[in-house]
Amino acid sequence: MKFNRLFLISIGVVLSGSVILALPMYLGGISVLRALFTGLNTATFLMYGWDKFSAQRGKVRIPETTLLLLAALGGTPGAFLCQELLRHKTRAYNFRRTFFLIAIVQLLLLLTVSMLIS
C-alpha cells in the first residue's frame, strides 16, 4: 500500500499530539491507557475539525482513509462527536457506512473482552 505524504504527516501529527495531550494527564495520576485514549480522541476530533475547516475553504483535505484509520485506532468517540457537532461527513454515505462498521467491530471487541475478563 502506497501512502501519500499528507497521510503520513496527518498520522504523525495525531500520534504525537496524542502523547502531548496525554502526558499531563498521566503525570496527574490518570492511567496511561486512559490518558492515551483521551489524547487520541482529542487529536482525532481536531483532525476531523481541520478537515471540515479545509473543506469549507477549498484547501487540501485530509484523506478519508486517514480519518477512518484514526477512528479504527480508537478515536471513534472523538470522530463521532466532531461529525455530529460540526455536521462533517454526514452526507458521505460510503464514509459513514465504513465508520459505523468500525464502531460496531470495536463495540463487539469491547464486549468480548469484558466478558472474558469477568
Q: How many domains does the chain have?
A: 1
Residue reference for cell 466478558: 115
What is the model's pLDDT at position 1?
Answer: 45
Amino acid at 107: L
What pTM did the predictor assign? 0.76
Amino acid at 66: T
In tens, the pLDDT along 97-113 reads: 999 999 999 999 989 98
Per the structure, the complete domain to which residue 97 belongs is given by 5-117
Residue reference for cell 484514526: 70
Q: Residue 58 gets which letter from DSSP? A: T
